[in-house]
Structure 1
Amino acid sequence: MEAIVGEFMSSFSPPWVVGPVPVVVTIWAAYVTATALIHRREMTGGRFIAAFLFPLGLIAAISLIFLPRYDLGIVLIVGQVATAICFIATYVLEKTLRGDPPSMPTEESNLQNMLWTLYIAVIVYSIYYIFVFKGPIFGACSIAKCYILELLFGGKVYSFSVLYSVNFVGSLILVGVISILLKVILKMQTRD
């Protein structure tokens, strides 16, 4: 009987697979995003952040399913691309439902400047990707250094906290890359 109770209680002892911060943030983001879409509210800073954090939490959780079968790099890249695309789609959907133009105006932007910005953003993402995979992702900190982070985001051993944090930064960079790329495409279409 003690073994059964011990196993049951160990699932409640930290570090958890998924910490309370990603759970609470994803639930909050889901509520804010759904409310904004249903009531067609104006895009504010909070709704903008929620539109990013909602797919981030969901995709990081879904990535845990694929991690044992696929390479970490593939899971991270697919997760970052999926998070970035879901965020941009949510952003455009919220703007479109409200009747606002879905993208930023391209008239005042110079095509050459946008291409340079895109080039630099791709280089930043490439450096980030190299840094993440050449550096010690899982062994970056010990339990003594990262105990609080593991309590908040989940244990490193279970990989969720790593997926969540690496997807967070990588997806932010990819959102910039995809947004600039879409802006360049729109600018080139309006030039013709």
Structure 2
Amino acid sequence: MLRLHRPIGGRMTFLSLPWVIGPVPIVATIWAAYTCGIVVAKKTGDNGKAFMAALLLPSGLVSVAQQLFLSDRNFAVLLISSQIVSSAFFLFILNISKSPGASQVNLGERPPTFSRQFMILSVSYILFNVILSIFPGPDRCTIAKCFVMEWVLGRIDHVFSRLYLETMFGTILLTGIVSHLFRLFMKSRRNGFSN
């Protein structure tokens, strides 16, 4: 009988799930790369598809890079740095995908103030990262709880499955904070810092 593969340790090497990087992040990142290319080429960055693609592409690529090249000894540093890089690329992709006339923002006539949304986003971002730093690691997840997560996102004993979703959520919060700060800066600059 001809054997095409020989199982290593009783398991097939390629098709045995869970993979280190699960099938959903792989497919989502490929879709996001394709969609970002179309959105940037056609300058149609003002829809939900562009938003999701701009969020999924940097989150997936940064998480893969962290998995491949960096160790997970200090998960908090990995998480914060991946959120910052993903937020920067998220804003960059959305900015270059919009037509030049669509980037004009009506700043209103109100004086620059910190809004309630800014405070909610800031507190949520800080609490999110503090909670993740208190409860890190694969030891918090048992097979009963994490069976589906392992098959969908990847193995929990590697940094990718933890970093992928946490980077996406943190990117959304951090992007909201940065956009509020940018709006405040633009209002202050337009008013000549007179307030």
Q: TM-score, normalised by structure 1?
A: 0.88
State the Cα deviation string for residues 147-168 of structure 1 (Å, max 9, x = none).
1111111010122110101111
CA distance in 1, matches of 2:96, 2:59: 17
State the Cα deviation string for residues 63-95 of structure 1 (Å, max 9, x = none).
113432752111111100000110011111112
AA at the equivalent of 1:101? A
CA distance in 1, matches of 2:189, 2:123: 25
Alignment of 1:1-192 (within 5 A): 5-7=6-8, 9-68=12-71, 71-95=74-98, 98-102=99-103, 104-107=105-108, 110-114=111-115, 116-192=116-192
CA distance in 2, matches of 1:135, 1:21: 24
CA distance in 2, matches of 1:86, 1:23: 18
Change beyond 3 A, Cα 1:69–1:18 = closer
AA at the equivalent of 2:144? A
CA distance in 2, matches of 1:133, 1:191: 40
1:47 Cα deviation (Å)? Answer: 1.2
Structure with the higher fraction of residues in helix conformation:
1
CA distance in 2, matches of 1:150, 1:189: 48
1:52 Cα deviation (Å)? Answer: 1.1
Are the equivalent residues in 2 in contact too, given 1:125–1:173 (CA < 8 A)? yes
CA distance in 1, matches of 2:36, 2:130: 33
State the secondary structure of the residue aligned to 1:10: coil
CA distance in 1, matches of 2:68, 2:167: 15
Change beyond 3 A, Cα 1:64–1:42 = closer
CA distance in 2, matches of 1:158, 1:103: 43
Are the equivalent residues in 2 in contact too, given 1:93–1:102 (CA < 8 A)? no
The alignment's C-alpha RMSD in Å is 2.1
Q: Which has the larger radius of gyration?
A: 2
1:13 Cα deviation (Å)? Answer: 1.1
Structure 2, unmatched stretches of 5+, are: none
CA distance in 1, matches of 2:169, 2:152: 18
1:113 Cα deviation (Å)? Answer: 4.4
Where does structure 1 differ by over 6 angstroms across 4 or more consecutive aligned residues? Answer: none
CA distance in 1, matches of 2:129, 2:104: 27
CA distance in 1, matches of 2:63, 2:136: 19
CA distance in 2, matches of 1:30, 1:93: 14
State the Cα deviation string for residues 30-68 of structure 1 (Å, max 9, x = none).
111101111223521111111111111111101113432
CA distance in 2, matches of 1:32, 1:155: 27
Are the equivalent residues in 2 in contact too, given 1:122–1:177 (CA < 8 A)? yes
